[in-house]
Amino acid sequence: MTREAPVVLWFRRDLRLGDHAALLEASKHSKHVLALYVLDDALLKPSGAPRVAFLHGCLKALDDQLGGRLMLVKGDPVKEVVKAAREVGAATVHVSADTGPYGRRRDDEVEKALAEHDIAWAETGSSYAITPGRITKPDGDPYRVFTPFYRAWVRHGWPRPADTGKSIVDWVEPPRSVELPKSPSLKGMELPEPGEKAALERWHEFLDDGLETYDEDRDRPDRPGTTRLSPYLRWGCVHPRTLLADLAGNEGSGAKALRGEFAWREFHADVLWHRPETARKNYDSRFDAMEHESDDEAFRRWCEGRTGFPIVDAGMRQLLAEGWMHNRVRMIVASFLVKDLHLPWWLGARHFMKHLVDGDLASNQLNWQWVAGSGTDAAPYFRVFNPTTQGEKFDPAGDYVRRYVPELRSVPGKAVHKPENVKDYPAPMVDHAHERQVALERYGAIKG
């Protein structure tokens, strides 16, 4: 009796076995599935050490789930995917769609290469509840503003989680596999526990202890009020559809606020789908005429957390220490770089992508553009965060600042946001009121 021909499931940003639509589709074609991952230098070389190290941990966790049956190869995916499929006699390669600019170009090339060997290509689902590009205005144009996108996103809805797991198929023994490379040095940085199991454990901890107060606490960096799921969503250790299903029917303020945050992630992915050049260029081309400074020393001080503005310095040092930064603080430090130091947003975006464990091209670049005013929302260009008042509002007792800026640990309470003559702590490197006026004049020149 002839054994059923296997298929290949090529893992990318979907490093899990539960709620995996492409795995479910693969199981309908064959009960014999080869699990494949390609270590692609085009993606790995630009990635910072925290993200690469976390990826390695997630791959190890997935391999453990599969009983050591993850085929790991290194090289050009166009060649390696075809080679792996032919080695096991697969008729189809199944994937979750990659909607990023590089992923789309790469997948087009892989699909063409497979077709030359009569191997089919099957895309099912993506890293999002609703795949980017699916939601448009009635006239077919993409949404440019979040609020109407959010309403359309909710109206559209999303499928229920796919009922999948390890036992849904028989995993094929890999014909070969390379060793996972040694992870880059993190210099003492502790990353989250990688993998699907850790992602789900973190989610259920949040449901029990954080969801009810999420709307109040999510803007407070001094409190553990966020989900801390962003690294897991980045690599697909958990699917947003799983999370949204657990929130279904919950109309509390915490659940509503969290659904909104998931929608922001999907909105930015949708914008990048329609405008892939915005990963590197201004969404609003008028900002190409913006006057920027060129000041390597100012940029270095911002990167190191030595600006003399405590909430900014705390955020930048948290990034270097943990590979993560609280979202409210991300906005504060971004505003400071762009509107107090007058440096271009892409410098900060590049620094974030180098150091963030959750670095995601769509979310990172378009959030930076939102702060800079060059993105989809026309309003933020005249919003200039005052770093001192932001610190006083969102870190009212100064606990967040003291945690990451040891020079200020002797300064009590709210006074930590206006330190004076503290040994080893720098004076403010700019006059915020003056730089705010400079920023508004420059914005006015291009907006006018």
Binding residues: 214, 226-230, 358-360
For residues 293 and 301, give the distance between their C-alpha atoms in angstroms, rounded to a whole number: 15
Q: Are 20 and 163 in contact (CB under 8 A)?
A: no
For residues 404 and 436, give the distance between their C-alpha atoms in angstroms, rounded to a whole number: 26
Annotated binding-site residue numbers for FAD = 214, 226-230, 358-360
What are φ and ψ of residue 35, in 5° steps? -85, 125
| Residue listed under structure tokens 């990167």 | 303
Encoded tokens for 65: 């789930």
Contacts of residue 431, defined as CB under 8 A and 6 or more positions apart, other chains included, come to: none
For residues 239 and 128, give the distance between their C-alpha atoms in angstroms, rounded to a whole number: 7
Q: Are 207 and 255 in contact (CB under 8 A)?
A: no
Report which DSSP code applies to 46: T
Q: If you write DSSP's letter for every residue of 288-349 in order, what string do you get? A: GG------HHHHHHHHHT-SS-HHHHHHHHHHHHHS---HHHHHHHHHIIIIIS---HHHHH
Encoded tokens for 40: 């692609």
Q: How far is CA 200 from CA 17, 19, 195, 214, 242, in A?
A: 12, 12, 9, 18, 10
Three-state secondary-structure class, residue 7: strand
What are φ and ψ of residue 170, in 5° steps? -100, 120
Q: Are 375 and 346 in contact (CB under 8 A)?
A: no
